[in-house]
Copies of this chain bind each other. A is one copy, B any other.
Amino acid sequence: MIDIHSAIASLRWDREPQGLYAPIAYTLESGGKRLRPTLALIAASLYGKEENALPAALALEIFHNFTLLHDDVMDQAPIRRGRKTVHVKWDDNTAILSGDQMLIEAYKQLENIDAQHLPHVLHLFSKMATEICEGQQYDMEFEKEEKVTIEEYIEMIRLKTSVLLGAALEIGAYIADAPESDRQALEVFGTNIGLAFQIQDDILDVYGDEATFGKAIGGDILQNKKSLALLMALHHANEDQLFRLQGWLHRTEYLPEEKIKAVTAIYNEIGVRELCQAEMDRYTQIAIEALKQLSVDATPLLQLADKLHQRNN
């Protein structure tokens, strides 16, 4: 089994100018689950060709971290994975330019794919990258819009986060010469696991345990973020609940703990946790169903889905 954490750690960034490369090293060394490259490697390993997927796995992880770096500039987020974000530790220009270089570095990894598989991988990779930019654009637009439907929100998170998981599996399987029907089933699995994963993030932001979640609980509530929790609440609230919820959304003076407590209480009345949980379970189910189409034993992916479903961070 390839150790993806070591593989990423062994990428070298000690070249000049360090003003460009040090922020890349910093971003990639700050860890995370390495979920996307792991998915690519597992997909390839199902067909006995894990090694072949390593360049794509590295490309996917570098690309994912590029999106986080630029997203953090756009959101002016101060902290990522418990450390200062690049635009805070350095400055906005550094974050923009080092991010650009990370995107190029992701494509550079694809050079290590054999010539036979390269054209289609390049196509899948750029298609995924485009969808992620589109998702980020919708995310920024939605924060300014008065009304966002649940369907629009799901489509946004599909683009912004889920297609990357789907692409990771599809690319890994393609490089390992999986049959086309398997590749499609794996893409469906990845995209739907991704939707479940993102919905779970929204749930954990309200109902998680601060110690294990790794960031403050209630952040979405304080920012009036149009998470699935809020959209579900707005959709299912009765008149009285809607009145109280809107009150908190428009209030400008309050103690943070007070707003989190009050909004969570309204969510509890409405049953937001269960509504979101049901959506999450639904996507997980679609994902697991897709695996039944595979021509190979899907146990490693079922185990991963189970682990993600049980996670609390």
Contact = CB atoms under 8 A, between A and B. Distances in A.
Most B CB contacts (10 A, CB to CB) among A100, A122, A134 go to: A100
Contacts of A97: 70, 74, 133, 136-137, 140
B137 A108 contact: no
B101 A103 contact: no
A126 interface: yes
Contacts of A119: 111, 115, 118
A130 B101 contact: yes
A105 B20 CA distance: 23
A112 to B, nearest CB: 10
B103 A126 contact: no
B111 A19 contact: no
A246 interface: no
Interface in A1-33: 16-17, 19-20
10 contacts: A20-B133, A74-B93, A92-B92, A93-B140, A97-B137, A97-B140, A100-B103, A103-B103, A104-B133, A111-B126
Interface of A: 16-17, 19-20, 70, 73-74, 92-93, 96-97, 99-101, 103-105, 107-108, 110-111, 115-116, 118-119, 122-123, 126, 129-130, 133-134, 136-138, 140-141
Given A107-B107, A111-B119, A111-B126, 20 more contacts: A17-B134, A17-B137, A17-B138, A17-B141, A19-B141, A20-B133, A70-B100, A74-B93, A93-B140, A96-B96, A97-B133, A97-B137, A100-B103, A107-B126, A108-B126, A115-B115, A115-B118, A115-B119, A118-B118, A122-B122
